[in-house]
Every structure is written in structure tokens, then in C-alpha cells.
């Protein structure tokens, strides 16, 4: 039971920054337990990247950190428009009074003294989250109020201006009727709209006194001599979804005698639908209310607004996708680094055990499970389109047939699977394994869509011209273009997808059935984008779903013989000599050292790129090769490679990372490329193979 003074808030998005992993873990646990979403960062650079990618609602920031201090991080955040108002609570020791004062002067919101008291930090977080959200809400409300006032002023100015114009015309008509008629005729023939004068008598009769010749141009109507019948015909042709609104507005204006402005759709006799806007000012004349006004065709304006809204929505969705990709790539990198230590040590342990021992089998089982777990990193890299791939010219129908064969055991006898191959092979340049993942994911969804086990799955192939504006937002990027695509179409007669869910099917973890299905179709996004392709999905509830897998076509004349670089390295190579290994993570450095020693090398280590460069410059050891991790403090692996090449241009260098090689910011100069690359997590056999190729 909480007291009356307790602030109840929805869970917050909190960035926690501390180079002490114990403190970071402790804070993450208490905040997560309190229901908050926590983003941990171990240094200032990572904190700034995370805050810029997606600004949090609050930041817990350690004052003292190696490299960039908490005060410097605060200073940079306060200098950016999108992060300047985020509450920052500093973490400091009891004795750091001077640092606390300096932190608060730099823009700190509050501070918490170490050792951290959970109840205190949670209370301060809730207080500042509450204050921050109130500030955000107030700013939004103020902005909306200003917009509303400005809009009202504009509307009032337009209405006032138009009322003055009409009053001036009425005054002129009382002075000279003939001149007024000539002026009216000239105006109505040139105004880009229909000028009208409707009336409503006190007896309930309604009709038209005047309507300009533009009537046919906009509405496709000819004027009818019977005023009452004409107005009835006009109202009947207003779109059925807008007609009652027109009637209600017209009646309200007649009763209140106020100016009005209304827009809606009109169905022309040809069936064409146009958007129009009506503006009018009612006046009382004798025993009737007269409505002098104008109808303007706003169809083009409405379409422009729709396109603008669609464009803004697409930009927001693309921004969201890019943020998710950045996060997924970073997580995959960290995860692959961690799995390097697990798989590497298991690999080393296996080499010390007898193959027929119980312990060997246990280690083998653990290694197999770890490799399965490392697939999570591959899945995330697939989502962001960074999974390495090997392109081959493949007949698409052959690959799909293999996928279908693998799924036949899951098909009930009541499900009809129709596979209709093309008249001749359709070739695409693809990574077979990755495209199989796409096809298998779609087939799995099709089978699940046939919930009761009855229905049809039909698979066909073809080529056609597609424009990118028909592609879902997830597949729209600069590398995609209007072109002829080869496609595989998978159509099922399952329960279909509701329209409001169709736009979300490529979001990670989204499902309409049950939780725990993983990344699902989201994995296909990265794969298809890296292949410059797309997925087109059409679905109707209770009718079924059709998915088209679009891939750039490859003609037979474009096919090139496959090349296997491994053929050049069949010669056995003796591995030995002094080798330098650099990695900032101790466990990874340790397992890498043991692997290299097992292969026959004398291993020297460095904990960052700067130390590795210094050891090369020292020239006291004749190194045969260098293995550099990419992400290291002081100096990263790419910078270290450039510096080492300046000292010993011929020294072989292998780069290693949890990211793929294609995603690394390597310079394209021929003399600035690594001699080899190892993607983490790698095993002893992969390390050996890489080194043998290097020395062969």
C-alpha cells in the first residue's frame, strides 16, 4: 500500500552509464525490477550514441569514468537540442563534493551518492520522471494552443475578408443592377470554383437563386430550371458517407445564421469522386435566408495532403527501423564477443579429452548448445542485413522445391500443396541459405494459417515489372529501384490478416497468435534488403494470404562460373613463430592466446590497439602475424592496422569482430586492407584455416 505522497508513473526509458560493471549490473537489476526499461552503457561514447539514437526519459550518469567523464557527457548532451532537457542524475562518491557542484553547474539535475540505496535512487527517478513528463506535456500543450490560435486567426481573417467582399458586391448591386450582373458574370466565369446562392424560406422551402457555369466543370451537372429539384439532386449526389454531415451542417447554419465552411466528397454522374469545399455566409432577405458562397474543387489538395501524410508516416517507420537495426547490430556484436569465450574454451577443453570419454561427450553437447545459442547473434545480423552471404546464380524454383520437400512432413493429408514450376528456369543471384530461410518462414506461416488443417497452399513463379512505391516501407531504400523482378508467389487459403495488422507483420516479435515466435518475418527484411529485393503481402480475413518474394532477375548470359578460393590453399602449412594478439576483453584474449599456443605459436598479447602498435614499433620481436580485435579503447583495430602497416607494410594482419566484414568502416585503398578476417565467435578449426590461408 503506497502513501498519498507516492508518485505513480508508467515505466520509464532509462539510460544507465557506469564503467563499473558491478554498479551497472546492480542498477540495471533494481530498475528493471521496478518495471523500468533500462539501457546500460559502459562509457561516455556508448552513452552518447544510445542517447542520440533514441533519447531516453532519464539518464543515470557516473561522474568519474575513464576516457570521457560523466561531466563531459553531460556537457555534450546539454548542447544538443534533442537531449538538452533530459533529466541527468549523477552517481558520485560521498567525498566528491567539488565534482558534484561542477556536475550540477554543467546541467546535472540531481545526484545520488555511492554506495547506492535502491529506495533513494528509485524515489529520485520517479520524481524527475514525473517532472520531465509534466514539462514535455506542458510544452506540447503550449505548442498546440499556439497553433490553434494562429489557425483561428487565419480562419477569421479569411472569413472576414470574404464577408467584406460579399457585402461590397451586395452594396454595388443596389446602386446599379445591370453593372452588377455584368461584373458577376465576369467573376463567375473566371473564378476557379462554382459561385452559388441558395435559399431557405420560413415555410421550409429550399432552392437555388443562382449558380455559376463552372457547375458542369466541377460536378458534371447541368442546371435544372426547377430550383428545389436541382438542390435535391445536388444533395443526393453527395457521397453517402458525407451526405448526412452536409444536411446537418446546412440545417445548423440555417437555424443559427452563422458563416459556414464544409468539405466532403461528391459523386459525379460518370462515377468519378471529387473532393469539394463549400464556403458561405447566410443573410436574411425578406422571408428567407440566402446563402451566398462558393464551391471549390479541392481534390488535388486532398491528394497532396494524403501523400504528405503517407510520406511522413514512411519516414517515421524508416526511422524506427533504422533505430532497431542499430540496436540489433550492437547487441549482436556484444553477444558474439561473449560467445567467443564460451565456444573457444569448450573447443580447447575438447582437445584435452579422449574422444570416447563421458566428459568429451558432455563438452560436445555443451558446444553444440552454445553454437545454437550463437545463432541468436546471426539472427540479429540477418535482421539488420549484415549477415555475410555468398552469391550464386540459382534456379529459384529448384531452391523452393527443396524447401517444400523439407516441409512435407508437417503437412496434413487434408492440405493441398500445389507446386507449379515456370516454363523455363528463372535464375537469381542469391545466397541459397538465406533465401531458404525466407521461403521457409513464409511456408511455416502459411501452414499455421490453415489452423484446422484444411485448405490449399499454391506456389507459382514468374517475372514482372514492379515499382518501388508498391513495396512496404521496410524494403524502401536507395539501393532498390523500379525494375523487372523474378518472383516466387506463395498463396494460402488460411484465416488471413486483418488490415490493421498487415502493416506490422515485419516488426520483430509481432504475431497475432501467441508469444515467443522470435523475430519471425522481421528476419526476412534484412535478408531481402541485402539482396536488393522485397516481399509483397496481400491478405484478406477468412480468404487467405498471398506473399510474393521479389528478387532481381539474372539472365543466363549474366551467369559466371563459381569460384572456390579454398582450391588455392590445399597445401599443408606448418604454423609457428611469434604472433601478436590484441583484444580488450580479458576472457576473449585468454581463449585466443590458448588457441594460438595450441596451434604452435608463441603468443604475445596487447589489451588495446595502441599497445599493439608500440610492440610492433619496438622491433624487439620478429612477429610473423598480428590478430587485432576491431573494437578496442585507446585505439581500435582498424587504426592500429593502419599504423602497423606504416611500420611493417608486409606484416600479415587479421582483423576480428562480432560484426561482419562488410559492415566495417574499412578504407578502400588496396594497401589498407586486412590480410584476413575472423568473425566472432570463431572456433579453433576456423582460426587454423584462416592462418593456413594467410601463410600459404
pLDDT band at residue 569 using 50, 70 and 90 as cut-offs? very low
CATH number at 567-695: 3.40.50.2300
259 vs 325: which has the higher pLDDT: 259
Does residue 519 or residue 594 have the better pLDDT? 594
pLDDT tens digits along 23-33: 899 999 999 99
Q: What is the pLDDT at residue 199?
A: 82
Where exactly are the structural domains of the chain?
A: 13-138, 176-297, 392-558, 567-695
580 pLDDT higher than 90 = yes
Please indicate whether the domains covering 13-138 and 567-695 agree at the CATH topology level. Answer: yes
% of the chain beyond a pLDDT of 90: 24
Burial grade of 432 (CB within 10 A; 0-12, 13-18, 19 or more): middle
| 35-49, 249-263, 316-330, 443-457: least confident range | 316-330
User: pLDDT confidence of 164, banded at 50, 70, 90?
Assistant: confident
In tens, the pLDDT along 390-422 reads: 788 999 999 999 988 888 777 787 888 899 999
485 by Cβ neighbours in 10 Å (0-12 / 13-18 / 19+) ranks as buried
pLDDT tens string 431-440? 888 888 889 8
Looking at every residue in the chain, the average pLDDT score rounds to: 82
Amino acid 177: pLDDT: 77
Mean pLDDT, residues 365-379 taken together: 65
pLDDT of residue 30: 92
Q: How far apart are CA 358 and CA 389, in angstroms?
A: 37
pLDDT at 558: 43
- How confident is the model at residue 570, as a pLDDT? 46
What would the 3-class secondary structure string for 519-552 be?
A: CCCHHHHHHHHHCCCEEEEEEECCCEEEEEEEEE
Residue 191 has pLDDT above 80, yes or no: no
* Residue 275 pLDDT grade (very low, low, confident, very high; cuts 50, 70, 90): very high
Residue 333 or 613, more confident: 613
Question: What pLDDT is recorded for position 461?
Answer: 95
The radius of gyration of the chain's CA atoms, rounded to the nearest angstrom, is 35
Q: What is the mean pLDDT of residues 665-671?
A: 55
Element housing 488 (H / E): strand 483-492
Q: How far apart are CA 623 and CA 616, in angstroms?
A: 8
Instruction: For cell 582460426, name the residue.
Output: 687
Contact 492, 450 (CB under 8 A): yes
- CA-nearest of 597, 581, 566 to 693 is 566
Residue 453 confidence (pLDDT) = 72
Output the pLDDT for position 474: 73
279 Cβ neighbours under 8 A, 6+ residues apart = 162, 259, 260, 261, 293, 294, 296
For domain 13-138, give the CATH superfamily.
Answer: Response regulator (3.40.50.2300)
* pLDDT category of residue 627 using cuts at 50, 70 and 90: very high
pLDDT at 662: 61
| pLDDT band, residue 518 (cuts 50/70/90) | very low
pLDDT of residue 325: 63
Q: Write down the CATH number for the domain with range 176-297.
A: 3.30.450.20
Place 377 in a pLDDT band, splitting at 50, 70 and 90: low
| Intra-chain end-to-end CA distance of the chain, in Å | 72
Report the distance separating Cα 176 and Cα 163, nearest Å: 20
How confident is residue 509, by pLDDT bands cut at 50, 70 and 90? low
- pLDDT tens by residue, 41-67: 999 999 999 999 999 999 999 998 888
Poorest-pLDDT segment among 312-321, 376-385, 481-490: 376-385
- Give the pLDDT band (50/70/90) at residue 449: confident
Burial of 674 (0-12, 13-18, 19+ CB in 10 A): buried
User: What residues contact residue 492 under an 8 Å CB cut-off, 6+ apart?
Assistant: 446, 449, 450, 455, 456, 457, 458, 544, 545, 546
Burial of 557 (0-12, 13-18, 19+ CB in 10 A): exposed
Q: What's the CATH fold of domain 392-558?
A: Heat Shock Protein 90 (3.30.565)
Query: Is the CB of residue 219 less than 8 Å from the CB of residue 237?
Result: yes
pTM of the shown model = 0.43
Q: Which three cell numbers stand for residue 209?
A: 437563386
Has residue 515 got a pLDDT over 50? no
Each residue of 192-213: pLDDT tens digit? 788 888 888 877 777 788 887 7
Q: Is the pLDDT score of 661 beyond 70?
A: no
d(CA 76, CA 60): 15
620-646 mean pLDDT: 90
Please state the rounded mean pLDDT for residues 82-99. 84
Amino acid at each position: 500500500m503506497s502513501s498519498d505522497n507516492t508518485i505513480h508513473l508508467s515505466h520509464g526509458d532509462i539510460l544507465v552509464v557506469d564503467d563499473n560493471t558491478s554498479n551497472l549490473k546492480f542498477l540495471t537489476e533494481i530498475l528493471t525490477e521496478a518495471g523500468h526499461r533500462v539501457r546500460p552503457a559502459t562509457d561516455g561514447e556508448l552513452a552518447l550514441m544510445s542517447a542520440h539514437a533514441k533519447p531516453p526519459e532519464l539518464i543515470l550518469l557516473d561522474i568519474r569514468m575513464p576516457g570521457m567523464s560523466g561531466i563531459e557527457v553531460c556537457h555534450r548532451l546539454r548542447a544538443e537540442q534533442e537531449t538538452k532537457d533530459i533529466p541527468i542524475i549523477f552517481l558520485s562518491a560521498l567525498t566528491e563534493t567539488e565534482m558534484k557542484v561542477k556536475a550540477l553547474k554543467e546541467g546535472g539535475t540531481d545526484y545520488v551518492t555511492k554506495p547506492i540505496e535502491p529506495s533513494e535512487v528509485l524515489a529520485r527517478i520517479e520524481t524527475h520522471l514525473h517532472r520531465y513528463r509534466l514539462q514535455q506535456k506542458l510544452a506540447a500543450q503550449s505548442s498546440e494552443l499556439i497553433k490553434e490560435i494562429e489557425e483561428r486567426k487565419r480562419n477569421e481573417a479569411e472569413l472576414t475578408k470574404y464577408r467584406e467582399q460579399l457585402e461590397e458586391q451586395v452594396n454595388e448591386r443596389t446602386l446599379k443592377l445591370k453593372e452588377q450582373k455584368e461584373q458577376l458574370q465576369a467573376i463567375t466565369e473566371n473564378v476557379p470554383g462554382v459561385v452559388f446562392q441558395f435559399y431557405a424560406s420560413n415555410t421550409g422551402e429550399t432552392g437555388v437563386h443562382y449558380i455559376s457555369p463552372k457547375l458542369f466543370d466541377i460536378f458534371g451537372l447541368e442546371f435544372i430550371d426547377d430550383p428545389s429539384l436541382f438542390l435535391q439532386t445536388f444533395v443526393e449526389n453527395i457521397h453517402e458517407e458525407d451526405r448526412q454531415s452536409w444536411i446537418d451542417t446546412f440545417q445548423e447554419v440555417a437555424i443559427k445564421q452563422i458563416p459556414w465552411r464544409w468539405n466532403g466528397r461528391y459523386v459525379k454522374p460518370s462515377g468519378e469522386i471529387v473532393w469539394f469545399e463549400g464556403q458561405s455566409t447566410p443573410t436574411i432577405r425578406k422571408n428567407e435566408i440566402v446563402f451566398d458562397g462558393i464551391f471549390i474543387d479541392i481534390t488535388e489538395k486532398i491528394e497532396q495532403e494524403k501523400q504528405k501524410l503517407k510520406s511522413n508516416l514512411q519516414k517515421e517507420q524508416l526511422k524506427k527501423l533504422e533505430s532497431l537495426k542499430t540496436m540489433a547490430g550492437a547487441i549482436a556484436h556484444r553477444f558474439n564477443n561473449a560467445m567467443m569465450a564460451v565456444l573457444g574454451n569448450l573447443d580447447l577443453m575438447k582437445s584435452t579429452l579422449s574422444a570416447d570419454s563421458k566428459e568429451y561427450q558432455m563438452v560436445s553437447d555443451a558446444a553444440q548448445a552454445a553454437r545454437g545459442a550463437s545463432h541468436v547473434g546471426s539472427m540479429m545480423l540477418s535482421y539488420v542485413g549484415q549477415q555475410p552471404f555468398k552469391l550464386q546464380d540459382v534456379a529459384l524454383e529448384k531452391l523452393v522445391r527443396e524447401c517444400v520437400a523439407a516441409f512435407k512432413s508437417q503437412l496434413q493429408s487434408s492440405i493441398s500443396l500445389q507446386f507449379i514450376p515456370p516454363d523455363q528456369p528463372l535464375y537469381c543471384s542469391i545466397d541459397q541459405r538465406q533465401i531458404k530461410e525466407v521461403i521457409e518462414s513464409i511456408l511455416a506461416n502459411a501452414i499455421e494459417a490453415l489452423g484446422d488443417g484444411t485448405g490449399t497452399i499454391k506456389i507459382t513463379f514468374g517475372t514482372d515489372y514492379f515499382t518501388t512505391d508498391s513495396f512496404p516501407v521496410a524494403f524502401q531504400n536507395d539501393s532498390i529501384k523500379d525494375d523487372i523482378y523474378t518472383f516466387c508467389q506463395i498463396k494460402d487459403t488460411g484465416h488471413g490478416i486483418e488490415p490493421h495488422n498487415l502493416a506490422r507483420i515485419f516488426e520483430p516479435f509481432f504475431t497475432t497468435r501467441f508469444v515467443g515466435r522470435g523475430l519471425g518475418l522481421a528476419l526476412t527484411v534484412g535478408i531481402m534488403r541485402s539482396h536488393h529485393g522485397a516481399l509483397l503481402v496481400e491478405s484478406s480475413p477468412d480468404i487467405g494470404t498471398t506473399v510474393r518474394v521479389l528478387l532481381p532477375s539474372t539472365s543466363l548470359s549474366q551467369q559466371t562460373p563459381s569460384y572456390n578460393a579454398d582450391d588455392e590453399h590445399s597445401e599443408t602449412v606448418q604454423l609457428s613463430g611469434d604472433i601478436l594478439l590484441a583484444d580488450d576483453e580479458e576472457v576473449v584474449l585468454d581463449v585466443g592466446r590458448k588457441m594460438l599456443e595450441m596451434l604452435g605459436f608463441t603468443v604475445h598479447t596487447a589489451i588495446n590497439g595502441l599497445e599493439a602498435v608500440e610492440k610492433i614499433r619496438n622491433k624487439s620481436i620478429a612477429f610473423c602475424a598480428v590478430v587485432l580485435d576491431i573494437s578496442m579503447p585507446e585505439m581500435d583495430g582498424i587504426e592500429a592496422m593502419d599504423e602497423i602497416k606504416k611500420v611493417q607494410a608486409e606484416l600479415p594482419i587479421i582483423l576480428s569482430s562480432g560484426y561482419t566484414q562488410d559492415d566495417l568502416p574499412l578504407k578502400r585503398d588496396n594497401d589498407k586492407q586486412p590480410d584476413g578476417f575472423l568473425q566472432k565467435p570463431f572456433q579453433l578449426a576456423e582460426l587454423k584455416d584462416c592462418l593456413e590461408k594467410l601463410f600459404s
